[in-house]
Amino acid sequence: MLIFLEKNKNLTRKERERLLKRFEILDVAANLFATKGFDGTKLEDIAEASEFGKGTLYNYFENKEDIYVEIINRITDDYLSELKKISTKSKTLCEFISQLIDYLVEFVAVDRSAFLMLLRLRTEMNAIEKVRKSKVIKNYRIEATKIFKSKINLAIKNKEIEKINPDHFVILFRNLTFPYFHSILIMKNKSRSVLQTKKDLVEAGNFIVATLFNGISKR
Amino acid sequence: MLIFLEKNKNLTRKERERLLKRFEILDVAANLFATKGFDGTKLEDIAEASEFGKGTLYNYFENKEDIYVEIINRITDDYLSELKKISTKSKTLCEFISQLIDYLVEFVAVDRSAFLMLLRLRTEMNAIEKVRKSKVIKNYRIEATKIFKSKINLAIKNKEIEKINPDHFVILFRNLTFPYFHSILIMKNKSRSVLQTKKDLVEAGNFIVATLFNGISKR
Amino acid sequence: MLIFLEKNKNLTRKERERLLKRFEILDVAANLFATKGFDGTKLEDIAEASEFGKGTLYNYFENKEDIYVEIINRITDDYLSELKKISTKSKTLCEFISQLIDYLVEFVAVDRSAFLMLLRLRTEMNAIEKVRKSKVIKNYRIEATKIFKSKINLAIKNKEIEKINPDHFVILFRNLTFPYFHSILIMKNKSRSVLQTKKDLVEAGNFIVATLFNGISKR
Amino acid sequence: MLIFLEKNKNLTRKERERLLKRFEILDVAANLFATKGFDGTKLEDIAEASEFGKGTLYNYFENKEDIYVEIINRITDDYLSELKKISTKSKTLCEFISQLIDYLVEFVAVDRSAFLMLLRLRTEMNAIEKVRKSKVIKNYRIEATKIFKSKINLAIKNKEIEKINPDHFVILFRNLTFPYFHSILIMKNKSRSVLQTKKDLVEAGNFIVATLFNGISKR
DNA sequence: AATGAATGAGCTTTCATTCAT
DNA sequence: GATGAATGAAAGCTCATTCAT
C-alpha cells in the first residue's frame, strides 16, 4: 500500500482511488479466473465478489477479456522483471535455478491465484483471442527464454554442466516447475496449514534442483 | 476392429453396432475437446464432425459432460493398463522409465487428442463436476502412484538410485513428461513432418531420462 | 400461397416449410419495425408476435439487423420491379406517374408495413450499418432514379412537359408521395373504414398528379 | 443575447444564468438528436458535448425525453410564430408560399439541426410518448393548418387558384418541402461550399413554387 | 433409432438514472 | 449546483437439451 502511494504521488486523490479500485477488481477476478478458468468465471461472479455492480466493472474495464488480459499481463511482467533480477544476481546456473525456485516458492505462497493463472495460461490462450495477441505475453516468453538460454550456455562454457541442448532444458524446466508445485498444492490441500504448505514447497524445490543437477542414480 | 469383434462376441449385432457408433462419437469428440477444450466445443460441433444429428448423440450419451467423462475414463484406463504391463516387463527403474517414455512417445504420435486431453485434465476438472467425481479417474491416480512408488522403492532397495522421496519423484515425473512433450508438439508445429516430430519426441524422451537419472552437472 | 408453392416446386417439403416460416417471421417483424422502428422493436417482440421462441429466430436469421435488412431488400426489390413494369407499359410521363401512383395506392392499402418501412428508410439507414451497405438498396436507388430520369427526358423531348431539371423532379416526386400518403393514413386513422381509406388515397393520388402537371393556379 | 437579456429583465442573475445553461444544453442536444436520432444519442454524448457532467443535466431537465420534447416544442413554436408573421405580411397565396419557402431556406441554412429534427419528428413520435402527447406540438399542427387553410380559401375566393381541397394542399406542401430540402442537403453533401448549398436550396425552392402553381405540363 | 427445429435459461454488455460527495 | 461513480433493468445473442416426427 505504501509502495502504491509512493509510486502514484503525482496523481490526484480520485485517480489514486480509481487505480485502487481497479486493483481490487483485478485481484478478485484473478482469484476467480484461477480457480474456475475464463469461461467458468461469470462477470456476475466478479461483480459479486468485488462487491460492485455488474455495470460498474465496465467503468473500469472494456470487457471481460480485458480484465483477464490485464491480469495476465501484470503477472508475466512481474515474473519477467524478477527473472531479470535473479539472472543478474546469480553466478552459476545452479545458483540461478536455486534462487528462481526460491522465488517461485514465495510466489506460489503469496499469490496463489497468479500462480494458477500462469499454470492455465497455455490452455486458456486458445480460447481468448486477446491473450493470444498480447504483446506483453509474447515478449515475456521471448525474454524469459533468452535469459535462460544465456545462463545455460554460460554454464556449459564454464564447464559447470554437460553439453546439453539449451532449448531442451528451458522447456523441461518451465514445464516441470509449475505443474509440480501445483501438484503439491492440491495433493495435500485440505489437511494442511499454510506453514506446512510452504515447507512442502521448499522441500519440493530442493528436490527439483537436486534431481536436475545430479540425477537420481546412485553415485 | 477384429479385437473389438472378438471382445464383444457375445453381443447381438445391434448391440455391437451401437457400441461402434459410440466409439465413433467418442473419437470425434476427443479430437474436438483436445483442441478446443470442454467449453470451447459445442455439441453441434461434435454432431457435425461425427455426421450424426444433434439429437442422436443423446441416444448414446446422457449429455455433453458424459461424453467428456467417458473419453477421459477410457484414456486413463488404457494408460493404466499399459503402465501395469510395462511395470511387469521392466526390471530396473531406469528400464521402467525408459519403456514408459517410449510408450508415451508412441502414444503422443498415435493418439494426439488423447494426449492433449490428459494434459488439460487437471484444469478442466475444476469445471466439470463429473470428472472431479469420476471413480475411474480417482482409481487411475491411486493405482498409477502405487506402481510408481513400488518401482522406486525397489530401485532404492537395489541401490539403483539414491534414497529419494518416492512421492516427490512420482509427481516430478508425471508433471514433467506431459507438458514437455506438449511443448515439443506446439513449438515446431508448422514446419515439421510427422516423421521429424517423432524424432524430436524420441530425442526429448532421451533427454528426460538422462537428466532424471544423471542430472546435468559436469561429472 | 399458390404462387409460393409454384415457385418452389423443386424444393423438399422441409425446405418449403422453412421458407414459409421465414416469411412468417419477416412478415411479423415488418409490422413491428414499421410501427416501432428498428430500435423500438425488441427481438422478444418479434419472437412473441411470431409465436416462436427467441432462440428459434436465430435458426432462421443471423441477427436482428439481418431480419431488418432482408425485409427492406425484399420491399425495394419488389418496388423496383414494379417500377420497371410500369415504365415499360406507360407512354407519356403523365401516364407513368398516374399508373405509379395507382400502384402506390394499392401498395399502401395492401402492405402498409412495407410502406411504412420505406418511409422510415432514410432515417433508419443512419442507425443500421448493414442497411447503409446493402447493395440491393443502393441498386434500387440508382435504378429507380434512372427510370424516372429517362421518362422525364423523353417527356421533355416530346414536348409533353416544360424543360425542367429532371433531378429536381425526381427528388420532388419521391419526397412528396410517400409522406403525403402517410399523412392520409394517420390523419384519419381512427374513424375510418378500410374502404374509405382507399378512397381517400385515390383522391390524394389524383390531387398529386393534377398539381404536379397543372399546378393550382387559376387558368 | 441582447434579446435574451431584454426578455428576462425581471429575473434574478441566477435565474438568467440557469436559463442560459438550459439553452446551451438544448442547443448541443439538438445537434446530436438531429444527426443520430433519439435512441442513437446517449445522455453521455450530450453531457460531453455540452461540457457538463451527466448528473448536472438532471438538474436542468427531468430526463432525456424532456430534453427532446423541449427542443421540439421550441422549434415548432418558433416556426409557428414565423408562419403567423408571414401570413400577415403576404397578400396572395403565391406570395405566402414564396415567402415561407424563403424563410425555410434560411432556416435550413441557419439551424440545420432544428430542421433535421422536424424532419424526423413524425417517425420519432412513435417512440417517444411525451412527444406524442405534447400540447405544444398538437397546437402547432392545428394552428399551422388553420393558417394555411384560411390562406388557401382566400386564394380560391379571389380566383387566384383553382377550387382545390385545402386539406390536400396543406398536406402536400408540408410533406413536400422538408424532405425535398433534406434531399438537397444530403445529395451533394460532400463536394459543396456553404454558399453553393444555399444557392441550391434557393433554386429548389423556386422549383417547388413553380411546380405547385403552374405544374410541369407544357403550356 | 435418427433427426434438427424449437426452446429458454443464462450469458455479456449498454445506458438512463441516482446519489453521495 | 456540479459531479461522475455506481447501478441494474433490459437488451441481443448462444447453446445444451428436448421432443415431435
Reported as a single tens digit per residue, the pLDDT across B133-151 is: 889 999 999 999 999 999 9
Work out the pLDDT band at B175, boundaries 50, 70, 90: confident
The pLDDT assigned to D122 comes to 83
Q: Which of B108, B131, B117, B107 is nearest to B37 (CA)?
A: B117
**Inter-chain CB proximity D218 and C174 less than 8 Å:** no
Q: Which nucleotide is nearest to C56 (CA to C1')?
A: E6
The pLDDT assigned to D178 comes to 87
D63 sits within 7 Å of strand E by its CB: yes
The pLDDT assigned to B21 comes to 94
Min Cα–Cα distance to chain B from A32, Å: 12
- CB of B169 within 8 Å of a chain A CB? The answer is yes
- CB of C165 within 8 Å of a chain D CB? The answer is yes
What would the mean pLDDT of C115-135 be, rounded to a whole number?
88
Mutate to test the interface with B, among A167, A203, A216, A217 (most CBs of B within 10 A): A216
User: In terms of pLDDT, which residue wins out, B199 or B56?
Assistant: B56
Q: Is the entire prediction scored with pTM above 0.85?
A: yes
D102 sits within 7 Å of strand E by its CB: no
DSSP code for D161: B
- How far is residue C159's CA from residue D218's CA, in Å, rounded to a whole number? 6
Is residue A189 within 8 Å of B129, Cβ to Cβ?
no
Retrieve residue A133's grid coordinates. 495477441
- CB of D120 within 8 Å of a chain C CB? The answer is yes
Work out the pLDDT band at B123, boundaries 50, 70, 90: confident
Tell me the chain D residues in contact with residue C162 when contact means C-beta distances shorter than 8 Å: 216-219
CA of C25 to C1' of E8 (A): 19
Residues of D (26-85) whose Cβ lies below 8 Å from C? 35-37, 39-40
- What are the φ/ψ torsions at residue D13 (nearest 5 degrees)? -60, -45
Residue A79 has pLDDT above 60, yes or no: yes
Q: Three-state DSSP class for D42?
A: coil
Q: Which residues of B136-161 are buried (b: 16+ CB within 10 A; e: fewer)?
A: bbeebeeebbebbeebbeebbeeebb
Distances (CA, A) of B155 to A65, B149, D73: 50, 10, 94
Give the bridge partners for B217, in sequence order.
A161
| DSSP codes of every residue in A99-129 | HHHHHHHHHHHH-HHHHHHHHHHHHHHHH-H
A52 sits within 7 Å of strand E by its CB: no
**Inter-chain CB proximity C217 and D160 less than 8 Å:** yes
Q: Tens digits of per-residue pLDDT, A40-52?
A: 999 999 999 999 9
B72 alpha-carbon distance from chain centroid: 8
Closest residue by Cα to the C1' atom of nucleotide E10? A42
CA of B74 to C1' of E3 (A): 28
First to last CA, chain B: 51
The pLDDT assigned to B190 comes to 56
B112's CB contacts (< 8 A; 6+ apart) are B34, B185
Say which of D37, D174, D211 has its CB closest to residue C123: D37
Work out the pLDDT band at A27, boundaries 50, 70, 90: very high
Say which of A122, A126, A207 has its CB closest to residue B165: A207
The pLDDT assigned to B193 comes to 75
Work out the pLDDT band at A172, boundaries 50, 70, 90: confident
The pLDDT assigned to B191 comes to 62
The pLDDT assigned to C183 comes to 86
Min Cα–Cα distance to chain B from A4, Å: 33
- CB of B94 within 8 Å of a chain A CB? The answer is yes
The pLDDT assigned to C112 comes to 92
C98's CB contacts (< 8 A; 6+ apart) are C90, C209
The pLDDT assigned to D189 comes to 55
Residues 28-87 of chain B sitting with CB below 7 angstroms of strand E: 52-56, 58-60
Work out the pLDDT band at C191, boundaries 50, 70, 90: low
- What are the φ/ψ torsions at residue B12 (nearest 5 degrees)? -75, 165
Q: Which residues of chain D have pLDDT under 50?
A: none
The pLDDT assigned to C85 comes to 97
Residue C105 has pLDDT above 90, yes or no: yes
Tell me the chain B residues in contact with residue A148 when contact means C-beta distances shorter than 8 Å: none
**Inter-chain CB proximity A215 and B214 less than 8 Å:** yes
Tell me the chain C residues in contact with residue D160 when contact means C-beta distances shorter than 8 Å: 217-218
Work out the pLDDT band at B178, boundaries 50, 70, 90: confident
What would the mean pLDDT of A155-173 be, rounded to a whole number?
91
The pLDDT assigned to B2 comes to 64
Mutate to test the interface with D, among C211, C212, C214, C219 (most CBs of D within 10 A): C211
Say which of B164, B180, B204 has its CB closest to residue A216: B164
Residue C192 has pLDDT above 70, yes or no: no
Q: Which of C102, C106, C206, C95 is nearest to C151 (CA)?
A: C95
Work out the pLDDT band at B115, boundaries 50, 70, 90: very high
CA of A168 to C1' of F3 (A): 59
Retrieve residue A79's grid coordinates. 515474473
Q: Which of B189, B26, B183 is nearest to B113 (CA)?
A: B26
Say which of C40, C120, C172 has its CB closest to residue D176: C172
Mutate to test the interface with A, among B165, B168, B173 (most CBs of A within 10 A): B168
**Inter-chain CB proximity A162 and B219 less than 8 Å:** yes
Residue C190 has pLDDT above 60, yes or no: no
The pLDDT assigned to D190 comes to 56
Min Cα–Cα distance to chain C from D198, Å: 15
Is residue A31 within 8 Å of A49, Cβ to Cβ?
yes
CA of B56 to C1' of F19 (A): 12
**Inter-chain CB proximity B123 and A120 less than 8 Å:** yes
Say which of C127, C162, C176 has its CB closest to residue D176: C176
Give the bridge partners for C161, in sequence order.
D217
**Inter-chain CB proximity B39 and A127 less than 8 Å:** yes
Residue B77 has pLDDT above 70, yes or no: yes
Helix, strand, coil distribution of chain B in percent, nearest 5: 80, 0, 15
Work out the pLDDT band at B185, boundaries 50, 70, 90: confident
What would the mean pLDDT of B47-74 be, rounded to a whole number?
96
Tell me the chain B residues in contact with residue A172 when contact means C-beta distances shorter than 8 Å: 176, 180, 207-208, 211
What would the mean pLDDT of B153-168 be, rounded to a whole number?
92
Residue A67 has pLDDT above 70, yes or no: yes
Q: Which nucleotide is nearest to B39 (CA to C1')?
A: F15
The pLDDT assigned to A191 comes to 63
Long-range contacts of residues D144-149, Cβ cutoff 8 Å, at least 24 apart:
D144/D79, D144/D80, D144/D83, D144/D174, D145/D170, D147/D83, D147/D84, D147/D87, D148/D173
By CA distance, what is B203's nearest residue in A? A168
A86 alpha-carbon distance from chain centroid: 15
- How far is residue D202's CA from residue B76's CA, in Å, rounded to a whole number? 84
CA of B17 to C1' of F15 (A): 29
Q: Which nucleotide is nearest to B62 (CA to C1')?
A: F17
By CA distance, what is C218's nearest residue in D? D161
Residue A31 has pLDDT above 70, yes or no: yes
Q: Tens digits of per-residue pLDDT, C38-65?
A: 999 999 999 999 999 999 999 999 999 9
Tell me the chain D residues in contact with residue C184 when contact means C-beta distances shorter than 8 Å: 171
- CB of A123 within 8 Å of a chain B CB? The answer is yes
